[in-house]
């Protein structure tokens, strides 16, 4: 189990591309992460979190990365105006992506604005992320708290100090009728028209 101090460390990219699961600072909180294209890595992330039917959020550097992952391009275009931002959008997924959506038929996605996280994602492709905690536990805001949850059961950590002052992402859902429904107001406020509030 390794500890790094920069998202730009080449070994972080290498580990993620080889199917490792680790903890790193996302654009919101510390997250447990794995390559979204690696079915086994995603399954391991969900096992570590003891999650059933509660998919993680997939973060990406661009909408093009999400389309390449297998998300419907027309669906992406309907929500692309919300990104890049700490806004997670729950999107419908095809049956062959059940490894991501855990049988629910949909899962949250986000194109990040944070330049350091985006630079990492440009090299790894989309990552599935879930807050660095156990169900019912407080999300980790620093390395020590993350290690308290996962110890040496994961492959690596990236230490970015205390990031407890970062607000959580806003979560919205694209309904079957094409309406954006706000699930949680967070870092960015969405108005009742499904637009970013001024």
In angstroms and rounded to an integer, the radius of gyration of the C-alpha atoms of the chain is 16
How confident is the model at residue 198, as a pLDDT? 67
52: burial class by Cβ within 10 Å (0-12, 13-18, 19+)?
exposed
How confident is the model at residue 167, as a pLDDT? 84
Contact 46, 102 (CB under 8 A): yes
Contact 12, 127 (CB under 8 A): no
How confident is the model at residue 178, as a pLDDT? 81
Phi, psi for residue 131 in degrees, rounded to 5: -50, 145
**Cβ-Cβ contacts under 8 Å for 185 (sequence gap 6 or more):** 170
**Which SS3 state, helix, strand or coil, does residue 44 take?**
helix
Instruction: Give per-10-residue mean pLDDT for the chain (198 aa).
Output: 93 97 93 96 93 86 97 94 95 91 91 96 97 90 95 96 86 86 92 82
Give dist(CA 139, CA 134) in Å, integer. Answer: 8
Instruction: Write down the pTM of the prediction.
Output: 0.94
Structure token digits, residue 82: 């919300």
24: closest CA among 122, 134, 154? Answer: 154
């Amino acid at each position: 189990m390794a500890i790094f101090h920069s998202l730009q460390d080449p070994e972080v990219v290498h580990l993620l591309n080889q199917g490792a699961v680790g903890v790193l600072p996302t654009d919101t909180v510390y997250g447990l992460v794995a390559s979204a294209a690696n079915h086994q890595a995603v399954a391991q992330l969900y096992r570590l979190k003891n999650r059933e039917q509660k998919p993680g959020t997939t973060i990406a550097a661009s909408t093009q990365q999400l389309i390449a992952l297998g998300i419907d391009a027309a669906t992406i275009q309907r929500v692309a105006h919300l990104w890049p931002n700490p806004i997670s959008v729950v999107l419908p997924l095809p049956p062959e992506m059940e490894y991501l959506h855990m049988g629910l038929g949909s899962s949250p996605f986000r194109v990040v604005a944070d330049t350091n996280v985006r630079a990492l994602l440009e090299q790894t492709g989309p990552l599935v992320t879930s807050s660095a905690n156990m169900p019912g536990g407080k999300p980790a805001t620093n390395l020590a708290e993350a290690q308290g949850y996962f110890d040496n059961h994961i492959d690596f950590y990236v230490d970015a100090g205390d990031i407890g002052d970062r607000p959580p992402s806003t979560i919205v859902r694209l309904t079957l009728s094409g309406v954006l429904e706000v699930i949680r107001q967070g870092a960015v406020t969405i108005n009742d028209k499904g637009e970013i509030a001024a």
